[in-house]
Structure 1
């Protein structure tokens, strides 16, 4: 027998032994065998695990005292992240060149019309459709809004009928059709027919946006559902230390890697397509994203039998809406304060529990169990957490356009001012590594409970500080250019009476000084944006995760709509007021967020375990406290979220 065959047999025997030991352990707990993996090889330090000691679910005392650790990312989760990399490369690579493609005409290069729209070797701007800045702004805003609204419908389809893996496959096909049409619209012979190119481009926007929304609705949920250890599990390391493998911590670290792939894809797509547009033409700038987006097809196909996900439940939305409305109707009062005090409490949700339903005949849709109401309560709390996020996204959206304009008001050193926008994904790529290899390991080592509510609060404040940096920088831009508060404008007179059009109308400050804003925004994304994915995944009912994730995504669309009200501030001489206003909104948002959800923060561990079957079985048998230990009797009735 060869050495490789002997190794395979030994590995198979060890895996079988692990499986039998876990089956015995889980069977003793009275649970199904698929609740836990065959072994702890998915834990980051599996080589340090003492396999002579049986694993077990933690007691209340162990949850309070033992250190929490995460399992490592498995290959199905990594494969889904690869799909997300390809999708973000394709999406951002294409959208990066939308503005010039729509608004600018095809340039004249060496005395001839550039048929591809490229401007290689000239000072002119690449272009194609020549529809003007108004049409460009309208179409790009529509594209963004459409991409963030469609996840609502797609999330409902995934949870109720199709399942998450299947909806991702459909979204991939739909988006690819849109990418192909986008490439067709940029073929030189098609651009020669102005109306035909416009129609093809608009149709491509709608189809690609639909596919993007369908894909995004469930991709972030599916990647976290690949976590193997789904229950808090106590293991003993070879050092003798007992630790808890915590799926909530695993989810947080999984989404960090997920966000890393998002930004690697967006950075590669944006940088690559900027130079493809300038040097070759739009057909290549759209063709390359199309080719990259073929990558998810084999990844999804070969992994179709390995991805794990909750099965769809056709009545889930009807049940959720019916249960919530039943509680609202039964507790609604002419006294608003009385209703607010009762909303979200145990008494409020008791009207939706089958065991305590006050009516003689239950509604036909009430086919769920009592414990699902606890999950629904937690999902509503997750949706409530998203309510203040538009204040955060208002700050984040400044890096898309306004901070690029600010860079153009300074000394660019021969580089395009769009280049500064690439600092955001670059910093995120670096900071994810810092979080994964320094911050999170330190929190695990010293058992520091850096909960989602704390992280999101920090994210709000960091976004506010980023806008403070931009406001202070703008003040100095006005002071260090010859035209004062009309930097970059033409048709105005400088303070010395000279025409601004005849002066070097920019600040002497380097545009890279604005990198401070991008550092702070990148940090804030990892604290706020990434954590919002974690909240949606952990706190939503298992059969409503795509819907709750989509609701979180819609806050970006809401922020875009709110941003329209402040467009008047996005011009000279109001830039300082613009950034200062958004800094204030985010800072106030952070304070309100903490005040509103600090009680969730106190009970985050308890909320994380709702929906974990082993925990609920122990509660049912009186082995665990039914209420979180941090809530006293007089607080329970007043807890509102």
Structure 2
């Protein structure tokens, strides 16, 4: 009987390729054990003790033909070798799940070699006279590659195209469209509702063909201030909605409840604009502010979830190869997500056009109460859409309160890194080593906080998501420029020749350009760039968006200068009667509105896409809320520009914002040049940012809320 030669080693058995041997049987269901066929007559089992470099040509022969047994303290493996005449099966048992190495090699000296080794190399049967081929156990266990999944070489050689968007996916955009109908229409109407006085003989506030509609008569500064507060609340509330969606309710339930909250706020707004309340301006103002707060809670939660919820419907599998127009192409998930956000933004801007057009004309010719009834009617569709999609949507299960852990981990990482020197602070906060210091593996178990119940990978995901959010630090200034459409440009149009069109109608140029341009980019320009091997990466698109916004605000400053020069009232054009406008066509505003539209396509939609790709799956709503929070911060900064939002300082208002955008454009280019270079290299190699996270979350939780 051979004795045990080494403890805690797996046992490698080399069977002899002899005709007539019995099949191998295995008694353990889960453990990978080595099975040694019956020994041939006159051949002796041998055991080799070398750990890693064992070879079948150095066996220790045994005189008798007793079965060889090896005993380990932790795992007992018994190998019974019997002569060929005995047809009993050979049994191998093990307590621990360890992989044994099987080396099958032609035996020329008539002996059967038993090799013990810790390595996981497997040498398959080889033909006589050929060298054995080694492969790792991981390779041996690897499944056959799906021919529809592209290889690394195909990622480089084959063209990539986005996947199609299903009708189920687009229904989520319809919900956001209804919200846009209300938001954009109300913002356009709010300026006149608050700024202008109630026209004589019009209890509803309608201005008629030649007049300007109004109600409260509080002036441009107050109107701009209230509109700014409204925008701040709408874009700050997504933090609450994102938290509830990620940790407690899930995105589907959060959107559904937010719809009913929004309907309540809209109903209050209708009461505030009714003729009896307009006769009491203070009561109408109180109800207006109440409606703004309630609506902000509803629309904020909707905004926090709809974009992310829609993108989650598009990611269900790894990139695949398909035949399109007779050519093999890769259906790329990143491009599909980019397409979903582009069309998401296009569809909601259709709502903006509808809202601003219908509500503005309802305000001008009927009254404010009808203007606020219209979005209520559209919003009544949303509950039925959510009910229809209840069993059709992919719904990711909320993961509990990860946001508190994220905050504590981030605070621990940046502790002691702050400096009043901005250069030093930037270097400290962007040093990857600060995140290594808060990984659980680097903290002794006794010193580890109780809330730190995650692994190192979770810290890496958090770092990746926060790194993506740094790109949004410049977005408040971008939104400060975009928000000029909501109030100051509306007031500017009132001092120009509007050709009988309501002054708040011209802002529709912006969404119209968006609706026309997005399909052109998706179907013509972006595919052509991909054919030319030009990677128009997300960070490059954001950079171009900032540049276009800078040009738009410069254009606004020039228009305002011409108004002051040509207006009968000079640098007090807003004080002129409506009939004494400056002899300048309001169509000149088409330039700034179009440039801002292009800036939104390149910067805003790409920012939403970038946020979704980079954020961990269990923090997507919160990360998207941080993106929207930049708009709220823009509203806060906009409050500082209120003193410039009146004559004769409006030129400085547009010029200063344009200068800030120029500085941000240059700074953004310098800060994210290296990161953009790394991401373009990763995209070229097929290393996407979202696939693995999606495969872990989506699908498995699709039916968790039934």
- So what's the TM-score if we normalise by structure 2? 0.72
1:431 matched residue in structure 2: 517
Contact (CA 8 Å) 1:53, 1:236: kept in 2 or not?
Answer: no
- Residue 380 of structure 1 and its aligned partner are, at CA, apart by 0.6
Q: Work out whether residues 72 and 250 of structure 1, in 8 Å CA contact, stay in contact via their aligned partners in 2.
A: yes
Q: Distance between the aligned counterparts of 1:344 and 1:313, measured in 2?
A: 28
1:558–1:614: structure 2 CA closer, same or farther, 3 Å change rule? closer
Higher mean C-alpha deviation, range 508-517 or range 189-198: 189-198
Please give the secondary structure, in 1, of the residue aligned with 2:248. Answer: helix
Aligned residue number for residue 70 of structure 1: 162
Residues 1:591 and 2:666 are matched in the alignment: yes
Pairwise CA RMSD? 3.2
- Map 1:453-468 to 2 at 5 A: 453-468=539-554
- CA distance in 2 between partners of 1:216 and 1:614 (Å): 23
CA contact (8 A) 1:88 1:262 kept: yes
Contact 1:466/1:518, CA 8 A, preserved across alignment: yes
Aligned residue number for residue 116 of structure 1: 204
**Number of residues paired by the alignment?**
553
Cα pair 1:412 1:511 within 8 Å, conserved: yes
**1:159 corresponds to 2:252:** no
Quote the Cα distance in structure 1 between the aligned partners of 2:420 and 2:211. 65
> Quick check: 1:54 aligned with 2:147?
yes
**Cα distance change of structure 1 residues 53 and 364 upon mapping to structure 2, 3 Å threshold:** closer
- CA 134–563 in structure 1, closer or farther in 2 if over 3 Å, else same: closer
Counterpart among 158, 182, 192 of residue 100 in structure 1: 192
CA distance in 1, matches of 2:671, 2:341: 25
The alpha-carbon deviation at position 195 of structure 1 amounts to 5.3
Aligned to 1:555: 630
Report the equivalent of 2:537: 451
Structure 1 pair 75–239 and aligned structure 2 pair: CA distance change class (3 A): closer
Could you tell me how far apart the structure 1 residues matched to 2:695 and 2:391 are? Answer: 30
Measured after TM superposition, the shift of residue 343 of structure 1 is 3.6
Note the C-alpha offset of 1:520. Answer: 1.0
In 2, are the aligned partners of 1:609 and 1:615 still within 8 Å (CA)?
Answer: no
Q: 1:282-334: per-residue Cα shift (whole Å, max 9, x none)?
A: 22111111111011111000101121132212231122123223322387799
**1:205-354 superposed matches below 5 A:** 205-231=292-318, 233-237=319-323, 241-329=327-415, 340-341=426-427, 343-354=429-440
Counterparts of 1:265 and 1:615 in 2: how far apart (Å)? Answer: 30
Secondary structure of the equivalent of 2:313? coil
Match of 1:524 in 2: 599
Greater helix fraction, Structure 1 or Structure 2: 1
1:422 is displaced (CA, Å) by 1.5
Aligned counterpart for 2:688 among listed residues 609, 615, 618: 609
User: 1:570 — aligned with what?
Assistant: 645
Residue 306 of structure 1 aligns to a residue in which SS?
coil
1:234-256 per-position Cα deviation (integer Å, ceiling 9, x unaligned): 41426675433222111111111
Q: Which runs of 5+ in 2 are unaligned?
A: 1-140, 697-706
- Residue pair 1:102, 1:127 contacting (<8 A) in 2 also: yes
Q: 1:84 aligns with which of 171, 176, 186?
A: 176
CA change 1:615–1:184 in 2 (3 A) is: closer
Give per-residue Cα distances to partners, 1:8-65, cap 9 Å, x unaligned: xxxxxxxxxxxxxxxxxxxx8779xxxxxxxxxxxxxxxxxxxx98212542x44344
How many Å separate the matches in 1 of 2:645 and 2:473?
25
Q: State the Cα distance separating 1:548 from its structure 2 match.
A: 1.0
SS of residue paired to 1:163: helix
Tell me how far 1:411 sits from its aligned partner.
2.8
Residues 94 and 314 from structure 1, CA distance in 2 versus in 1: closer, same or farther, beyond 3 angstroms? same
Instruction: For 1:546 and 1:486, locate their aligned partners in 2 and report how far apart those are by CA, in whole Å.
Output: 46
Which of residues 579, 582, 592 is equivalent to 2:654? 579
Equivalents in 1 of 2:366, 2:409: separation in Å?
Answer: 57
Q: Is the 8 A contact 2:238 2:625 kept in 1?
A: yes
Preserved CA contact (<8 Å) 1:478 1:487: yes
Q: Shift of residue 365 of structure 1?
A: 2.5
User: What is aligned with 2:557?
Assistant: 471
TM-score by length of 1: 0.79
Pair 427,303 (structure 1): closer, same or farther in 2 beyond 3 Å: same
**How far apart in 2 are the matches of 1:477 and 1:407?**
10
Q: 8 Å contact 2:314–2:336 — kept in the other structure?
A: yes
Structure 1 residues 295 and 615, CA, compared in 2 at 3 Å: closer, same or farther?
closer
Given that 1:353 and 1:369 are in contact with CA atoms closer than 8 Å, whether structure 2 keeps it comes out as yes
- For 1:30 and 1:86, the matched residues in 2 are separated by 47
- Whether the 8 Å CA contact 2:242–2:301 is kept in 1: the answer is yes
- 2:314 is paired with a residue whose SS is coil
Deviations 1:452-497 (A, max 9, x none): 110000001001111222233334444445555454555xxxxxxx
CA distance in 2, matches of 1:132, 1:332: 43
Q: Which moved further from structure 2: 136-145 or 380-389?
A: 136-145
Which segments of 5 or more consecutive residues in structure 1 lack a partner in the other structure? 1-27, 32-51, 491-500, 618-641
Q: CA deviation at 1:442?
A: 1.6
> Given the alignment of the two structures, is residue 515 of structure 1 paired with residue 590 of structure 2, yes or no?
yes
Structure 1 residues 244, 117: CA separation in 2 closer, same or farther (over 3 Å shift)?
Answer: same
Cα distance in 2 for partners of 1:474, 1:139 equals 23
Cα deviation for residue 78 of structure 1 reads: 0.3
Q: Which has the larger radius of gyration?
A: 2
TM-fit CA distance, 1:105: 4.6
**Do the aligned residues in 1 keep the contact of 2:266 with 2:291 (CA within 8 Å)?**
yes
User: Where does residue 384 of structure 1 map in the other structure?
Assistant: 470
Report deviation, 1:203. Answer: 2.1
Give CA-to-partner distance per residue, 1:346-400, whole Å, 9 cap, x none: 4332223333445545333233333222221111112111111112122212222
Q: Separation in 2 of the partners of 1:335 and 1:390?
A: 22
What SS does structure 1 have at the residue aligned with 2:398?
A: coil
| 1: CA distance, partners of 2:586 / 2:421 | 56
